[in-house]
Every structure is written in structure tokens, then in C-alpha cells.
């Protein structure tokens, strides 16, 4: 904000200097210059404000750049064409806090948030549970939509099956049972969670692996 005020002051000073060159002859011309300068000041301040917000949004610039490379998530495997995505995906522990900050950023679209959660799918089980539990708290605060949350917890099998494979672990069962008690978790997701807890989903995953589909 101080920067914007300084820029405006400089532009005003410049305008006044031009204006006093010839009070009568240049009145109309200076009015035009003044308008242009103030428009430029407003645009510059707006851009500075947006840049400042992006700086507070963790890895938002990287996620936005990835989205531009991939265009959409019709086929999520396309994300691996992006070097930036592969870098984030290969070091999730290092980037987890920054990704959480990114997900809280209001400027990020749902597609960008989906890209962000997919970068975290290589987290070890304990860290993954910390990540998705943090996302559940964000869901409760309406900081992320339910489809982003669902993708984070249960992405397609080729991305991550750690919760399904460890459904018998007490820490996993405790987390999944907590989701079952939430009014924010939709019915179809609760049905799937019950299938996970029963071992049915893991049985299907093993069949897919035996068939060479995973």
C-alpha cells in the first residue's frame, strides 16, 4: 500500500511539473496526461496487490504454471508431462506445509486445488493422514470444496491406495470413522468409506493388480 501511495505521489508531482510549464496553453493536454497517469497508477497498484496475495499463497505460482501446461484434468496422468509437477510430486514432505497454504488461498480455482492435492499422493502413510486430516478441518471451515477433499483422500487407484491397503490399522480406521460422523461428507463417499473399512475395496485393488491393471 505504501508503494502505491508513493507511486501516486510521484505521478501527481510529475503532472504538476508539466502543468506549471504553461498554465493556459497546456490545460487540456495536462488533463489528458493526468487521466492516463492515474489509470496507470491504479493498474500498477492492482498488480502489486495481486502479486502480494500470490506471495502469501504458498506454491500457487507453481500450481498455476502446471495448470497452464496441462490445460485440464480430463486425464490426470497428463500432469506428469510437467516438470514442475514431477518436482512437487517427488518431494511431498518438503512441500506439504506450502501446499496446505496454497489450498487456503481464495484466489486458487478448484482445478488448481485438485492439482495441489495430487502432488501429495506420495506422502508416507503417517504424513498422508496428517495431510488429509488437515484437509478435513479445512472442509469443515468451508476452505475447500468436497470434491477437492475427496480427490485428496481417495484419488484414482493408480495415484494412491495407502488408506485402502492399511484399512486395518487403527489410525486409519479412526480417521475414516471420523469422516463417517460428519454431515459434510456426502452419502456416496460414506458408502465408499464403509466398503474400504470392510476390506472390499482392497480385495478389488488386488484383483486389478493381479490382472496387470495397476
Count of residues in the chain: 214
Burial class (CB in 10 A: 0-12, 13-18, 19+), 173: middle
Banded model confidence at residue 57, pLDDT cuts 50, 70, 90? confident
Average pLDDT for 44-67: 66
Residue that the C-alpha cell 485428496 belongs to:
152
Average pLDDT for 81-98: 97
The mean predicted confidence, pLDDT, of the chain is 83
pTM over 0.85: no
Cα 162–chain centre separation: 22
153 contacts 163 by C-beta, under 8 angstroms: yes
Q: What is the pLDDT of residue 56?
A: 64
pLDDT of 195 higher than 50:
yes
Residue that the C-alpha cell 501429495 belongs to:
120
Residues 68-97: b if buried by 16+ CB within 10 A, e if exposed: eebeeeeebeebeebebbeebbeebeebbe
pLDDT of 55 higher than 90:
no
Can you tell me the distance from the alpha carbon of 137 to that of 143, in angstroms, rounded to the nearest whole number? 9
Average pLDDT for 124-130: 98
Q: What is the DSSP letter of 80?
A: G
Can you tell me the distance from the alpha carbon of 180 to that of 187, in angstroms, rounded to the nearest whole number? 9
120 contacts 99 by C-beta, under 8 angstroms: yes
Amino acid at each position: 500500500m505504501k508503494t502505491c501511495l508513493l507511486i501516486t505521489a510521484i505521478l501527481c508531482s510529475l503532472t504538476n511539473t508539466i502543468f506549471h510549464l504553461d498554465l493556459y496553453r497546456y490545460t487540456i493536454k495536462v488533463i489528458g496526461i493526468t487521466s492516463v497517469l492515474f489509470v496507470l497508477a491504479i493498474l500498477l497498484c492492482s498488480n502489486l496487490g495481486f502479486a502480494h496475495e500470490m506471495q502469501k499463497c504458498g506454491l500457487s505460482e507453481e500450481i498455476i504454471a502446471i495448470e497452464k501446461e496441462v490445460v485440464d484434468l480430463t486425464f490426470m496422468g497428463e500432469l506428469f508431462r510437467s516438470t514442475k509437477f514431477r518436482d512437487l510430486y517427488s518431494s511431498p514432505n518438503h512441500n506439504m506445509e506450502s501446499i496446505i497454504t496454497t489450498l487456503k488461498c481464495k484466489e486458487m480455482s478448484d482445478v488448481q486445488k485438485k492439482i495441489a492435492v495430487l502432488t501429495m499422493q506420495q506422502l508416507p502413510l503417517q504424513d498422508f493422514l496428517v495431510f488429509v486430516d488437515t484437509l478435513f478441518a479445512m472442509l469443515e471451515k468451508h476452505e475447500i470444496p468436497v470434491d477437492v477433499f475427496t480427490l485428496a483422500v481417495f484419488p484414482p487407484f493408480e495415484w494412491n491406495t495407502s488408506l485402502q491397503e492399511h484399512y486395518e490399522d487403527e489410525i486409519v480406521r479412526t480417521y475414516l470413522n471420523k469422516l463417517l460422523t460428519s454431515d459434510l461428507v456426502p452419502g456416496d463417499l460414506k458408502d465408499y468409506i464403509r466398503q474400504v473399512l470392510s476390506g472390499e475395496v482392497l480385495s478389488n485393488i488386488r484383483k486389478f493388480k493381479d490382472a496387470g491393471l495397476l
